[in-house]
Structure 1
Amino acid sequence: MSDAAALVRTLTDRHETVACAESLTGGLVCARLTSVPGASAVVRGGVVSYATDVKADVLGVDAGLLAAGGAVQAQVALQMAVGVRSLLGATWGLATTGVAGPDPQDGYAVGTVFVAAASDDGAQHAALTLDGDREHIRASTVQAVLDLLGARLRS
Protein backbone atom coordinates (compact mmCIF):
# COMPACT_ATOMS: atom_id res chain seq x y z
CA MET A 1 0.00 0.00 0.00
CA SER A 2 1.40 3.37 -1.01
CA ASP A 3 1.37 6.11 1.58
CA ALA A 4 0.78 9.65 0.32
CA ALA A 5 3.66 10.99 2.43
CA ALA A 6 6.07 8.46 0.93
CA LEU A 7 4.89 9.35 -2.58
CA VAL A 8 5.39 13.07 -1.94
CA ARG A 9 8.89 12.37 -0.56
CA THR A 10 9.80 10.24 -3.57
CA LEU A 11 8.47 12.78 -6.05
CA THR A 12 10.32 15.56 -4.21
CA ASP A 13 13.58 13.58 -4.21
CA ARG A 14 13.19 12.93 -7.93
CA HIS A 15 12.20 16.54 -8.73
CA GLU A 16 8.97 15.28 -10.31
CA THR A 17 5.42 16.57 -10.17
CA VAL A 18 1.91 15.13 -10.28
CA ALA A 19 -1.52 16.26 -11.48
CA CYS A 20 -4.87 14.55 -10.88
CA ALA A 21 -7.92 14.07 -13.10
CA GLU A 22 -10.77 12.79 -10.99
CA SER A 23 -14.30 11.71 -11.67
CA LEU A 24 -15.89 9.49 -9.01
CA THR A 25 -13.33 10.56 -6.39
CA GLY A 26 -14.29 14.23 -6.76
CA GLY A 27 -10.93 15.64 -5.64
CA LEU A 28 -10.10 13.10 -2.94
CA VAL A 29 -6.83 12.01 -4.62
CA CYS A 30 -5.54 15.56 -4.76
CA ALA A 31 -6.77 16.15 -1.20
CA ARG A 32 -4.90 13.08 0.06
CA LEU A 33 -1.68 14.22 -1.59
CA THR A 34 -2.01 17.84 -0.46
CA SER A 35 -2.64 16.77 3.14
CA VAL A 36 1.09 15.99 3.27
CA PRO A 37 3.32 18.88 4.43
CA GLY A 38 5.56 19.92 1.54
CA ALA A 39 3.16 18.64 -1.14
CA SER A 40 3.19 22.05 -2.79
CA ALA A 41 6.60 21.17 -4.20
CA VAL A 42 5.15 18.32 -6.26
CA VAL A 43 1.37 18.66 -6.68
CA ARG A 44 0.58 20.80 -9.73
CA GLY A 45 -3.21 20.66 -9.29
CA GLY A 46 -6.22 18.74 -10.35
CA VAL A 47 -9.32 18.67 -12.49
CA VAL A 48 -12.56 17.27 -11.11
CA SER A 49 -14.15 16.10 -14.33
CA TYR A 50 -17.35 14.72 -12.88
CA ALA A 51 -19.38 15.55 -15.99
CA THR A 52 -18.62 13.57 -19.15
CA ASP A 53 -18.34 16.68 -21.33
CA VAL A 54 -15.62 18.07 -19.05
CA LYS A 55 -13.58 14.93 -19.71
CA ALA A 56 -13.68 15.78 -23.43
CA ASP A 57 -13.62 19.58 -23.34
CA VAL A 58 -11.00 20.11 -20.64
CA LEU A 59 -8.94 16.90 -20.54
CA GLY A 60 -9.07 16.04 -24.22
CA VAL A 61 -10.67 12.62 -23.87
CA ASP A 62 -11.92 11.48 -27.28
CA ALA A 63 -15.59 12.53 -27.57
CA GLY A 64 -16.31 9.57 -29.86
CA LEU A 65 -14.97 7.15 -27.26
CA LEU A 66 -17.18 8.75 -24.62
CA ALA A 67 -20.24 8.71 -26.91
CA ALA A 68 -19.71 5.07 -27.81
CA GLY A 69 -19.06 3.63 -24.37
CA GLY A 70 -19.51 6.26 -21.70
CA ALA A 71 -17.02 7.47 -19.12
CA VAL A 72 -16.42 4.14 -17.40
CA GLN A 73 -13.70 2.64 -19.59
CA ALA A 74 -10.01 1.90 -19.25
CA GLN A 75 -9.20 4.02 -22.30
CA VAL A 76 -11.04 6.97 -20.76
CA ALA A 77 -8.93 6.71 -17.60
CA LEU A 78 -5.76 6.54 -19.69
CA GLN A 79 -6.74 9.58 -21.75
CA MET A 80 -7.69 11.50 -18.61
CA ALA A 81 -4.25 10.81 -17.08
CA VAL A 82 -2.45 11.87 -20.25
CA GLY A 83 -4.68 14.92 -20.60
CA VAL A 84 -4.24 16.27 -17.08
CA ARG A 85 -0.50 15.69 -17.24
CA SER A 86 -0.31 17.78 -20.39
CA LEU A 87 -2.79 20.42 -19.23
CA LEU A 88 -1.02 21.09 -15.93
CA GLY A 89 2.55 20.43 -17.05
CA ALA A 90 3.26 17.58 -14.65
CA THR A 91 5.67 14.67 -14.76
CA TRP A 92 2.85 12.32 -13.74
CA GLY A 93 -0.86 12.35 -14.48
CA LEU A 94 -3.27 10.32 -12.36
CA ALA A 95 -6.89 9.57 -13.22
CA THR A 96 -9.96 7.95 -11.69
CA THR A 97 -13.24 7.05 -13.39
CA GLY A 98 -15.95 4.61 -12.44
CA VAL A 99 -19.21 3.98 -10.64
CA ALA A 100 -19.38 4.74 -6.91
CA GLY A 101 -23.13 4.17 -6.68
CA PRO A 102 -25.73 3.98 -5.51
CA ASP A 103 -26.93 3.13 -9.04
CA PRO A 104 -25.26 1.54 -12.08
CA GLN A 105 -24.05 3.91 -14.83
CA ASP A 106 -23.77 3.38 -18.58
CA GLY A 107 -24.47 -0.33 -18.08
CA TYR A 108 -21.63 -0.73 -15.54
CA ALA A 109 -22.23 -2.11 -12.06
CA VAL A 110 -21.53 -0.15 -8.92
CA GLY A 111 -17.89 -0.73 -8.00
CA THR A 112 -16.58 -0.84 -11.59
CA VAL A 113 -13.59 1.50 -11.54
CA PHE A 114 -10.57 2.33 -13.69
CA VAL A 115 -7.50 4.19 -12.49
CA ALA A 116 -4.52 5.29 -14.57
CA ALA A 117 -1.07 6.84 -14.27
CA ALA A 118 0.76 8.49 -17.17
CA SER A 119 4.33 9.75 -17.62
CA ASP A 120 6.83 10.20 -20.42
CA ASP A 121 7.28 6.42 -20.32
CA GLY A 122 3.63 5.84 -21.23
CA ALA A 123 0.40 5.20 -19.40
CA GLN A 124 -0.84 2.24 -17.41
CA HIS A 125 -4.25 1.48 -16.00
CA ALA A 126 -5.80 -0.86 -13.47
CA ALA A 127 -9.34 -2.21 -13.61
CA LEU A 128 -11.06 -2.63 -10.25
CA THR A 129 -14.20 -4.37 -9.09
CA LEU A 130 -14.93 -2.95 -5.65
CA ASP A 131 -17.53 -3.85 -3.06
CA GLY A 132 -19.06 -1.72 -0.37
CA ASP A 133 -20.90 1.54 -0.08
CA ARG A 134 -20.17 4.73 -2.01
CA GLU A 135 -17.62 6.08 0.46
CA HIS A 136 -15.75 2.78 0.63
CA ILE A 137 -15.57 2.57 -3.16
CA ARG A 138 -14.28 6.14 -3.39
CA ALA A 139 -11.67 5.59 -0.65
CA SER A 140 -10.55 2.33 -2.24
CA THR A 141 -10.20 4.09 -5.59
CA VAL A 142 -7.99 6.78 -4.07
CA GLN A 143 -5.75 4.11 -2.57
CA ALA A 144 -5.65 2.16 -5.83
CA VAL A 145 -4.46 5.12 -7.91
CA LEU A 146 -1.84 6.00 -5.29
CA ASP A 147 -0.70 2.36 -5.31
CA LEU A 148 -0.45 2.49 -9.11
CA LEU A 149 1.71 5.61 -8.90
CA GLY A 150 3.85 3.98 -6.23
CA ALA A 151 4.37 0.90 -8.38
CA ARG A 152 5.33 3.04 -11.37
CA LEU A 153 7.79 5.05 -9.27
CA ARG A 154 9.42 1.83 -8.04
CA SER A 155 9.77 0.29 -11.51
Structure 2
Amino acid sequence: MSEIMDLALRVGQALQARRMLLATAESCTGGGVAQAVTDIAGSSEWFERGFVTYSNAAKTDMLGVPAILIQESGAVSEEVAAAMATGALSHSNAHVALSTTGIAGPGGAVPGKPVGTVCFGWALDGRTHTERIIFHGDRQEVRERTVQHALQGLLRFLGQT
Protein backbone atom coordinates (compact mmCIF):
# COMPACT_ATOMS: atom_id res chain seq x y z
CA MET A 1 0.00 0.00 0.00
CA SER A 2 1.36 3.43 -0.92
CA GLU A 3 2.01 5.99 1.79
CA ILE A 4 -0.69 8.28 0.38
CA MET A 5 -3.24 5.47 0.37
CA ASP A 6 -2.29 4.56 3.94
CA LEU A 7 -2.70 8.19 5.01
CA ALA A 8 -6.08 8.44 3.25
CA LEU A 9 -7.23 5.29 5.04
CA ARG A 10 -6.11 6.72 8.40
CA VAL A 11 -7.90 10.01 7.63
CA GLY A 12 -11.07 8.07 6.87
CA GLN A 13 -10.84 6.11 10.09
CA ALA A 14 -10.26 9.30 12.12
CA LEU A 15 -13.18 11.08 10.48
CA GLN A 16 -15.52 8.10 10.87
CA ALA A 17 -14.62 7.78 14.55
CA ARG A 18 -15.56 11.44 15.01
CA ARG A 19 -18.62 11.25 12.72
CA MET A 20 -17.20 14.06 10.62
CA LEU A 21 -17.30 14.90 6.93
CA LEU A 22 -14.35 16.29 4.95
CA ALA A 23 -14.31 18.83 2.14
CA THR A 24 -11.23 19.70 0.10
CA ALA A 25 -10.32 22.93 -1.69
CA GLU A 26 -7.46 22.32 -4.08
CA SER A 27 -5.48 24.37 -6.52
CA CYS A 28 -1.99 23.03 -7.31
CA THR A 29 -3.02 19.43 -6.59
CA GLY A 30 -5.87 19.58 -9.11
CA GLY A 31 -8.08 17.26 -7.08
CA GLY A 32 -5.30 14.89 -6.02
CA VAL A 33 -6.35 14.92 -2.36
CA ALA A 34 -9.96 14.18 -3.30
CA GLN A 35 -8.78 11.35 -5.54
CA ALA A 36 -6.63 9.90 -2.78
CA VAL A 37 -9.48 9.84 -0.28
CA THR A 38 -12.06 8.55 -2.75
CA ASP A 39 -9.71 5.70 -3.68
CA ILE A 40 -10.65 4.33 -0.25
CA ALA A 41 -13.73 2.09 -0.34
CA GLY A 42 -16.50 3.53 1.81
CA SER A 43 -15.19 7.10 1.61
CA SER A 44 -18.73 8.34 0.93
CA GLU A 45 -19.28 7.89 4.66
CA TRP A 46 -16.76 10.64 5.47
CA PHE A 47 -15.92 12.60 2.30
CA GLU A 48 -18.49 15.27 1.45
CA ARG A 49 -17.08 17.10 -1.58
CA GLY A 50 -14.04 18.54 -3.27
CA PHE A 51 -13.49 21.89 -4.94
CA VAL A 52 -10.83 22.23 -7.62
CA THR A 53 -10.24 25.97 -7.77
CA TYR A 54 -7.27 26.25 -10.06
CA SER A 55 -7.87 29.83 -11.18
CA ASN A 56 -8.11 32.87 -8.95
CA ALA A 57 -11.64 33.48 -10.24
CA ALA A 58 -12.65 29.97 -9.17
CA LYS A 59 -11.29 30.59 -5.67
CA THR A 60 -13.52 33.66 -5.47
CA ASP A 61 -16.58 32.22 -7.24
CA MET A 62 -16.68 28.77 -5.62
CA LEU A 63 -15.16 29.42 -2.19
CA GLY A 64 -15.80 33.11 -1.55
CA VAL A 65 -12.11 33.99 -1.27
CA PRO A 66 -12.03 37.79 -1.53
CA ALA A 67 -10.40 38.93 -4.78
CA ILE A 68 -8.62 41.69 -2.86
CA LEU A 69 -7.02 39.07 -0.59
CA ILE A 70 -5.65 37.25 -3.64
CA GLN A 71 -4.38 40.55 -5.07
CA GLU A 72 -2.70 41.63 -1.85
CA SER A 73 -1.32 38.31 -0.58
CA GLY A 74 -1.07 36.30 -3.78
CA ALA A 75 -2.91 33.08 -4.58
CA VAL A 76 -0.02 31.14 -3.05
CA SER A 77 -0.20 32.45 0.50
CA GLU A 78 -1.22 31.20 3.90
CA GLU A 79 -3.95 33.85 3.97
CA VAL A 80 -5.54 32.48 0.80
CA ALA A 81 -5.08 28.88 1.97
CA ALA A 82 -6.98 29.75 5.17
CA ALA A 83 -9.74 31.46 3.19
CA MET A 84 -9.99 28.47 0.85
CA ALA A 85 -10.40 26.05 3.77
CA THR A 86 -13.01 28.17 5.54
CA GLY A 87 -14.75 28.76 2.22
CA ALA A 88 -14.94 25.02 1.62
CA LEU A 89 -16.67 24.65 4.98
CA SER A 90 -19.15 27.43 4.33
CA HIS A 91 -19.99 26.06 0.86
CA SER A 92 -20.50 22.45 1.97
CA ASN A 93 -21.98 20.26 4.67
CA ALA A 94 -18.52 19.22 5.87
CA HIS A 95 -17.22 19.59 9.41
CA VAL A 96 -13.53 19.87 8.49
CA ALA A 97 -11.76 21.12 5.38
CA LEU A 98 -8.29 21.25 3.96
CA SER A 99 -6.84 23.38 1.20
CA THR A 100 -3.78 23.41 -1.05
CA THR A 101 -2.44 26.27 -3.16
CA GLY A 102 1.02 26.36 -4.63
CA ILE A 103 3.48 26.46 -7.48
CA ALA A 104 4.07 22.92 -8.75
CA GLY A 105 6.25 24.07 -11.65
CA PRO A 106 8.14 23.95 -13.78
CA GLY A 107 7.18 27.63 -14.29
CA GLY A 108 5.23 30.07 -12.16
CA ALA A 109 7.88 31.11 -9.67
CA VAL A 110 7.76 34.69 -8.43
CA PRO A 111 10.14 36.58 -6.12
CA GLY A 112 9.95 35.02 -2.66
CA LYS A 113 7.90 32.07 -3.95
CA PRO A 114 10.07 29.57 -5.82
CA VAL A 115 8.74 26.52 -7.63
CA GLY A 116 7.68 24.02 -4.98
CA THR A 117 6.15 26.63 -2.66
CA VAL A 118 2.87 25.30 -1.29
CA CYS A 119 0.51 26.76 1.29
CA PHE A 120 -1.91 24.59 3.22
CA GLY A 121 -5.02 25.35 5.25
CA TRP A 122 -7.07 23.23 7.63
CA ALA A 123 -10.34 24.47 9.15
CA LEU A 124 -12.64 23.09 11.84
CA ASP A 125 -15.01 24.63 14.42
CA GLY A 126 -13.93 28.20 13.75
CA ARG A 127 -10.23 27.31 13.97
CA THR A 128 -7.80 27.40 11.08
CA HIS A 129 -4.21 26.33 10.82
CA THR A 130 -1.92 27.14 7.92
CA GLU A 131 1.55 26.14 6.80
CA ARG A 132 3.92 27.15 4.02
CA ILE A 133 6.41 24.59 2.74
CA ILE A 134 8.87 24.51 -0.14
CA PHE A 135 9.10 21.06 -1.73
CA HIS A 136 11.89 20.04 -4.09
CA GLY A 137 11.45 17.89 -7.16
CA ASP A 138 9.61 17.96 -10.45
CA ARG A 139 5.95 18.85 -10.90
CA GLN A 140 4.68 15.34 -10.11
CA GLU A 141 6.86 15.03 -7.01
CA VAL A 142 5.71 18.43 -5.69
CA ARG A 143 2.07 17.46 -6.22
CA GLU A 144 2.48 14.05 -4.56
CA ARG A 145 4.30 15.54 -1.59
CA THR A 146 1.57 18.16 -1.30
CA VAL A 147 -1.17 15.51 -1.18
CA GLN A 148 0.82 13.57 1.40
CA HIS A 149 1.45 16.61 3.58
CA ALA A 150 -2.18 17.75 3.35
CA LEU A 151 -3.35 14.38 4.69
CA GLN A 152 -0.65 14.23 7.38
CA GLY A 153 -1.56 17.76 8.43
CA LEU A 154 -5.23 16.84 8.63
CA LEU A 155 -4.43 13.95 10.96
CA ARG A 156 -2.39 16.28 13.18
CA PHE A 157 -5.15 18.92 13.07
CA LEU A 158 -7.79 16.37 14.07
CA GLY A 159 -5.58 15.25 16.95
CA GLN A 160 -5.98 18.71 18.44
CA THR A 161 -9.78 18.37 18.64
Same fold (TM over 0.5): yes
1:134 aligns with 2:139: yes
Number of equivalenced pairs: 155
Q: Distance in 2 between matches of 1:149 and 1:112?
A: 19
8 Å Cα contact 1:70/1:106 also seen in 2: no
Q: Paired residue for 1:34?
A: 38
Deviation at 1:121, TM superposition (A): 4.4
The alignment status of 1:12 with 2:21, answered yes or no, reads no
The residue that corresponds to 1:80 in the other structure is 84
Q: Deviations over 1:42-61 (max 9, x none)?
A: 10011100001111111011
Give me the whole-angstrom Cα distance separating, in 2, the residues matched to 1:96 and 1:33: 15
Read off the aligned partner of 1:53 and give its amino acid letter. A
Q: Is the 8 A contact 2:24 2:85 kept in 1?
A: yes
Residues 110-149 of structure 1 correspond to what in structure 2 (within 5 A)? 110-149=115-154
Partner of 1:89: 93
The alpha-carbon deviation at position 106 of structure 1 amounts to 4.5
TM-score (norm 1): 0.95
Segments of 5+ residues of structure 2 without an aligned counterpart are none
Q: Does 1:23 pair with 2:8?
A: no
Aligned residues of 2:73 and 2:79 also touching (Cα < 8 A): no
8 Å CA contact 1:69, 1:106 repeated in 2: no
For 1:123, the aligned partner's letter is: T
Residue 67, structure 1, aligned to residue 67, structure 2 = no
CA distance in 2, matches of 1:92, 1:138: 22
CA separation in 1, counterparts of 2:13 and 2:45? 10
TM-score by length of 2: 0.92
> Counterparts in 2 of 1:39-50, with a 5 A limit?
39-50=43-54
CA distance in 2, matches of 1:8, 1:121: 21
Percent of aligned pairs sharing the same letter? 37
User: Which of 60, 64, 79 is residue 56 of structure 1 equivalent to?
Assistant: 60
